[in-house]
Structure 1
Amino acid sequence: MKIYLQGGPARRPRVSSPASPSSSAAAMADARECRGWLSALRRDLSNRRRRADDDGTPFTDELLVVIFARVPDLADLVRCAATCRRWRRLVSGEAALICCTPRRPPGRFIGQLALGFFHLQLEGLLFMPTAFASRRFPGLLQQPPPSLNKLFDDGLFDGFSHIVASRNGLLVINLESGNHDRALKLCVCNPMAGVVHVLPHLGGMDGLGHYVCTVLTADDRDDKIINPPRSTSYFRLVMLYTRCGFTAFRSYSSEEGSWSEEAKLTNPRLGRKQMGLTNDGLTHNGVVGCGGRLVYWLSNKVVFVLCLETLQLSVVSMPRSGNGQSFDMGNTLLGLSPNSMLCAIQLGRMSLRPANRRVPIRVITCTDRSWWDTEELIQVGQSLPEDVGHVMLRWFCEKSGAVFFSTFCGSYPLRSEMYVLNLKTRVVDKLASEDRISNPWACVHGYEMDQTAYLASLAEPEGVEDM
């Protein structure tokens, strides 16, 4: 995967559709490129007059980049970029090289990583930006809203394509064509870089039943990993799916360019109900912890945990809701806290009566398979309209601390609104409002930048903000 930081159109290579491989065949992904959101930002900056950026230090650019690559904390790198024009140019322009070195988790939410959310409509996979994203990437604030269908205009996402996972700047998309083809066709897309990898199809004897998946990236590694990925564009797609009598595992690595052999998981078998299917027919997003060693999925009142090193599967029971109520799967999101602990975001017990109005969002954390309340209830009712009647949690962006939730307001026809809560500042922003009978936010996937894209976006002073 290559990030294009210079202006001008990227030439899309001439490729052929991959054949359905056998379970042991190595087949490279079909890689396609276009002008991503970062390229549009850099083209805009290239039109501005360049100013002198001498910082008075005797170090060469090459030496400074080596020093920046050794900085162990992302927040310190952002502060370096804010020091002067030269350092900002080096940090943003050499972001991919700097991010090759693993660094420790930031220990705090980085709100600027959250750019917005994708939602599935008849027009395609549309994107709704946050206020920060609209300021930093003016091209995202347009009518009609930007979509993946227009970003990659070769018809790749036509048909019934839908997102099944979103993590660290990457989207995993199921390329359903609607022609009753049983083959599973997945792609991994980076809209910031303008790159999409169409993976070899899984069909025939490789046909899958119900599945859950997620994607690991170079950002998931920590400074304790001995052999880190060779590139910041590395990704690994991991998948669990049902087989007759057992639960199977496969993965695709961008470094190897092929699917792994099917493996049988030990311990509990997961069926259709345990694959995390929600009422809307979507799978819960996978959460990656412990430096990319563990993957968590929220299922039917439990969390199942996959150890990628041993391919062992275990189950953690979910806690009761507030006041001992049964757990509300439809209003629960899974993620990691800034200190890398597994946590759940849940809508607490609501009260919409004027005299006792409460709309709380509850945060609970887990360690050693024991849950406890953090006693942190964030009241968001004061930020909602008085005629709100229903609230639904949609997505938790764990690196930025952004929680997307929707509301139904008023009477027939209902007004549906979309909000984002910043867990760090506890500020609620309204993103969109739709007057329609149907639910426009049924298929929502939040989107965050990865570290490389975030540093590359710091090219101008207005992009450097307090973390």
Structure 2
Amino acid sequence: MEETTAAAAAAAAATAISFPEDVVREILVRVEDEADLFRCALTCTRWRRLVAKASFLRRRWPEPHASSFLSGFFTAKRLALTDPAATVSLVPTPGSMAVLNLLAGTCEVIPLHKGASKTWAIGCAILTATDWPSDGKQAAHGHSATFFKLLIINTTDVFHRPWTIQTFTSGEASWNTVCEFSFDDPEIGTLMHLTAVVCRGKAHWLVRHVCLQTLDVDVETCKVSQTEIPVPILYRKGYAVPRLSIDDVGGALSLLHLRRPGLMVDIWTQQQDHQETGGHAGDDARWVCRILELQLPTHNIQSEAETMYLSFLGEKGGMLLLKDNHRHFYAVDLKTGVMRELMDCGRISSAKVVPFEMDWQTFFVSRLGSK
């Protein structure tokens, strides 16, 4: 029986291989699921070569903006000491940091920064070559695809000042302490989120205050400034804590405010014409709000929206990750509001989620290999 099955499989494979290339190409380009297409490409060298061609990739994903980037989310998982898998760690030394390059499949361990055992990191940003302002500085620095720069804000007391900025650049052996700083206004509290949003050459964090403000750090000089956002929301009743984001169309700084309960998101975006004048967000800044109504998956009952309390987990590349009060997880398209339910990821929070974005076609081809 096994011999018959093997013979049938071999015959089917021989028949498939005998098809002309243009026929095979037309079949493969119509495979809708990316995972299935990947498995087909690994069948033989001939199919792998056809799928990896630039002309095939352009046909398979004809809309660059919608399909050339892959957004995803890492989640941190605590392993029990009795778990054999606990001996295999992404970061080999407890308490250390590491930068993972998904495209290259590498993990670079970063040495602990000065005073790490006596300080708290209250803010962090990881910068790549694309985060530098588009005025020629990137080319001047010779930044490559593997270049990165880490920036952390730490303190010896999270409730007091001063705060210290330290940086680590790829290729260097140690951290660099840039400066210490504090605010003149004693009412300004801590940063609302650990991870910064990088926009137009600056890293931005929301700061706890009576009005909405950002802490801004220049990615090149690390010069610190603060900016008031003239948006009439902060801890308004019926809203989740706001989050900074980047507008997926114009690349402008934006603010997401999630209504609770319900399926509505207020999206405030700084206007492009104001940014091009070189002005800073302040009382005269032009911020425009659009209200996005989220659309539950078809298998959900729409009446659930009245009792649904959604929470932010992360956002990247125009995709939002949310969870509801029943521990269901959703990926949301910030253009259309369409919600897609995800698998149960267990007990996770925004502190355990790291959003990422990469070039989808390059990632796809890199995983095919060269055989």
Task: Report the TM-score range of the alignment, normalised by the length of the smaller protein.
Answer: 0.5 to 0.7
Whichever of the two has the greater Rg, that structure is: 2
8 Å CA contact 2:125–2:195 kept in 1: the answer is yes
Cα deviation per residue 1:277-326 (whole Å; 9 max; x = unaligned)? xxxxxx43211122xx31101222431111234433222234223xx973
Of 295, 314, 319, which aligns to 1:402?
Answer: 319
Identity %: 16
Hey, what's the Cα distance between the residues in 1 that align with 2:128 and 2:169?
10
Hey, what's the Cα distance between the residues in 2 that align with 1:314 and 1:379?
34
Of 292, 298, 309, which aligns to 2:206?
Answer: 298
TM-score when normalising by structure 1? 0.53
Within-5 A mapping of 1:371-386: 374-380=288-294, 382-383=296-297, 385=301, 386=303
Hey, what's the Cα distance between the residues in 2 that align with 1:113 and 1:270?
42
Q: Secondary structure at the match of 1:50?
A: helix
Cα deviation per residue 1:142-166 (whole Å; 9 max; x = unaligned)? xxxxxxx97x9733458xxxxxxxx
**TM-aligned CA deviation for residue 120 of structure 1:** 3.2
**TM-aligned CA deviation for residue 218 of structure 1:** 2.1
Hey, what's the Cα distance between the residues in 2 that align with 1:309 and 1:48?
47
Hey, what's the Cα distance between the residues in 2 that align with 1:329 and 1:213?
25
8 Å CA contact 2:113–2:175 kept in 1: the answer is no
Q: State the partner residue of 1:326.
A: 236
**TM-aligned CA deviation for residue 221 of structure 1:** 3.5
Q: State the partner residue of 2:88.
A: 154
8 Å CA contact 1:266–1:313 kept in 2: the answer is no
Hey, what's the Cα distance between the residues in 2 that align with 1:153 and 1:246?
39
| Unaligned ranges ≥5, structure 2 | 1-36, 272-279
Cα deviation per residue 1:81-133 (whole Å; 9 max; x = unaligned)? 3x347x89xxxxxxxxxxxxxxxxx9x96465344322234448xxxxxxxxx
Cα distance change of structure 1 residues 313 and 52 upon mapping to structure 2, 3 Å threshold: closer
Q: State the partner residue of 1:168.
A: none
Hey, what's the Cα distance between the residues in 2 that align with 1:218 and 1:42?
29
8 Å CA contact 1:111–1:402 kept in 2: the answer is no
* Structure 2 letter corresponding to 1:50: R
Q: State the partner residue of 1:113.
A: 69
Hey, what's the Cα distance between the residues in 1 that align with 2:185 and 2:154?
10
Return the structure number with greater helix share: 2
Cα distance change of structure 1 residues 325 and 308 upon mapping to structure 2, 3 Å threshold: closer
8 Å CA contact 2:269–2:289 kept in 1: the answer is no
Hey, what's the Cα distance between the residues in 1 that align with 2:290 and 2:169?
39
Hey, what's the Cα distance between the residues in 2 that align with 1:325 and 1:429?
28
Aligned length: 300
**TM-aligned CA deviation for residue 447 of structure 1:** 3.0
8 Å CA contact 1:119–1:443 kept in 2: the answer is no
Hey, what's the Cα distance between the residues in 2 that align with 1:365 and 1:156?
37
Cα distance change of structure 1 residues 230 and 347 upon mapping to structure 2, 3 Å threshold: closer
Cα RMSD for the two superposed structures: 4.2
Q: State the partner residue of 2:31.
A: none
Q: State the partner residue of 2:179.
A: 263
**TM-aligned CA deviation for residue 235 of structure 1:** 0.6
Q: State the partner residue of 1:247.
A: 163
Q: State the partner residue of 1:447.
A: 355
Cα deviation per residue 1:245-301 (whole Å; 9 max; x = unaligned)? 52211100003343113422476589994133xxxxxx43211122xx311012224
Q: State the partner residue of 1:50.
A: 46
Within-5 A mapping of 1:63-462: 81=54, 83-84=55-56, 110=66, 113-123=69-79, 154-157=88-91, 177=94, 185-204=96-115, 207-221=118-132, 223-226=134-137, 227-242=140-155, 245-265=161-181, 273-276=189-192, 283-290=193-200, 293-300=201-208, 301-318=212-229, 319-321=231-233, 326=236, 330-337=240-247, 338-348=249-259, 350=261, 358-366=262-270, 368-370=280-282, 374-380=288-294, 382-383=296-297, 385=301, 386-387=303-304, 388-397=307-316, 400-408=317-325, 415-433=326-344, 439-441=347-349, 443-451=351-359, 454-457=361-364
Hey, what's the Cα distance between the residues in 2 that align with 1:229 and 1:206?
34
**TM-aligned CA deviation for residue 422 of structure 1:** 0.9
* Structure 2 letter corresponding to 1:331: V
Cα distance change of structure 1 residues 84 and 115 upon mapping to structure 2, 3 Å threshold: closer
**TM-aligned CA deviation for residue 365 of structure 1:** 1.5
Hey, what's the Cα distance between the residues in 1 that align with 2:341 and 2:361?
23
Cα distance change of structure 1 residues 187 and 157 upon mapping to structure 2, 3 Å threshold: closer
- If asked which structure has higher relative contact order (CA below 8 Å, sep 6+), I would say 1
Q: Secondary structure at the match of 1:219?
A: helix
**TM-aligned CA deviation for residue 228 of structure 1:** 4.1
Hey, what's the Cα distance between the residues in 1 that align with 2:187 and 2:72?
33
Q: State the partner residue of 2:3.
A: none
* Structure 2 letter corresponding to 1:343: S
8 Å CA contact 1:362–1:376 kept in 2: the answer is yes
Cα distance change of structure 1 residues 121 and 364 upon mapping to structure 2, 3 Å threshold: same
Cα distance change of structure 1 residues 238 and 110 upon mapping to structure 2, 3 Å threshold: farther
8 Å CA contact 2:314–2:353 kept in 1: the answer is yes
Q: Secondary structure at the match of 2:130?
A: helix
* Structure 2 letter corresponding to 1:118: F
8 Å CA contact 1:407–1:416 kept in 2: the answer is yes
Cα distance change of structure 1 residues 433 and 362 upon mapping to structure 2, 3 Å threshold: same
8 Å CA contact 2:91–2:109 kept in 1: the answer is no
Hey, what's the Cα distance between the residues in 1 that align with 2:116 and 2:245?
34
Cα deviation per residue 1:175-208 (whole Å; 9 max; x = unaligned)? 7x4xxxxxx6221122443211111123558842
Q: Secondary structure at the match of 1:390?
A: coil
**TM-aligned CA deviation for residue 363 of structure 1:** 0.7
